[in-house]
Structure 1
Amino acid sequence: MLRRALESVLNQTFDDFEILIIDGTRSEETKDIVKSHRDGRLRYIPQRGKGIANARNLGVLKARGEFIAFLDDDDCWRKDKLELQVEAFRELPKNYGLIYTAFTYYYLEKEKVLGIKHPLASGDVYRHMLKDNITGTSTIMVRRECFKRVGPFRESFPTCEDWDMWLRMSKICYFGAIDEPLVDYSIHSGQFSFAKYLAGRYRMIEEHGDIRHDPQVLSYHLLQIGILKLFRGDRSGAVDILRAFRLNPTMRGNILDIIRSLLDVRTKIYILKFIGRL
């Protein structure tokens, strides 16, 4: 998968970039893959297995360019991704600090597209980000200077560290969106831990007062968590749902978001994963 990811970057129509390969396994195989390309734009950086947030922080620290884009090793980019994002940055006002794109959910084992995740919003997306992670990290390009303002990815998060970062970033800049699927986000077995995902969701609630202290936003989170728990066969999901309705009995301000979430391809894939169908 790493070879596939690297080739998708090296084949970009925009070629003024560096590629930082952050290797948490510190494996000889990864070194050999990097060396085999014989391309001076590739930089191999070993990491001491401290997790994905630490890897991304190390990449941000070592990067030298004006913009930073992320690519997990099991995902890949369409050939014009970087070109379209750089063009968008040149056209947008300076208060736009991040651009994300639509992406496909690509089921590796059966080599088929399960659906497309389209951008939900652009501009001031903070209220949207409070309820859902509307981005996909492998789609993102961000001005490097934005990290100086919001700080690093928080390495204490068990999951959702990317959502936490983009939520914090949406406080300080506008987001641009390209409604074209420029990334294949890979779905494969062994990829997802439901327990770690739940821990990340609860951590989001704990860390962000605008979630924790807003009955409308908190009820939305608890309702989502409760529904996902029930699909997993965890009856304690009913407690989360009950608490959600106690906070917001009519689900005021949440109805359209709930309908959208239930129809969203990401929710479908999460449910299929939780019940062991993917």
Structure 2
Amino acid sequence: MRASCDRRPGNKANHGHRLLLATLLACAFGCPAGNLQVAPIVLEFTEKQQANALWLQNNADHPINAQIRVQQWSQTTASDQLEPSQALRASPAIIQIPPGQRQLVRIVRPMPMPTAPVQHEQAYRVWVDELPQIDGPQPAGLQFLLRYSIPVFVLPDGAQPREQIVKAPVDTSALQASWQVLADALILDVRNTGNQRVRLSELGWVADKGTITPLQRGLLGYVLAGQRMQWKLPLATRLPVTGHLQARLNDAPVAQILPSATH
């Protein structure tokens, strides 16, 4: 597994120094940057589980304040959509972590458990935002505030957690991929008709002669259960006319061919 870290700058004046917001999209292993650490970086709820533990670690020599919030995650327009949700809540929602200590945040399901079987996995993201220092001496120079985006999945009835099992090749019968090769980019559209998410990484184009052209090193992204996702990937070189796409699915040890819907 790998984690994708995206640094997102923003300007904010604060007692003569600047703050930058660094967004860490936690997808597999936590990014080891900054004083605030979060673990685990993927959460899974079984169908009857009502709470999960999220640990915040402060590696700094001063207290760190953080805010935790939850949003529902969907891909209804072939892109990631996030909306506020009360289906999961963070307790506490604002926390102070002493220097060198770690604190527990419980992610809870306050609503009654559904009486009817849940057919598809539900997806959320937990946002952990480091808050600016207000009290005490202000550090000089450029400062970074961390933001973690942590995937959370509520499993459908009978499903096994995917993050705690030995990785193996994925049944691809629920996946349908289509793509369009442009002069300088490849547009990939993947539909997932299964009842659990699929994570794609190490995407490559395999020519009929067997030559592999890497298109995305590391994580590409998720296709959520019963939904569809699209990516536009820049091309450094023209692809062979005939071939197919392959990717590692759910961090399986070897890449698998993406089933084509139109090719």
Q: Do both proteins adopt the same fold according to a TM-score greater than 0.5, normalized to the shorter chain?
A: no
Higher strand share: 2
Structure-2-length-normalised TM-score: 0.28
Higher helix share: 1
Structure possessing the higher radius of gyration over alpha carbons: 2
Structure-1-length-normalised TM-score: 0.27
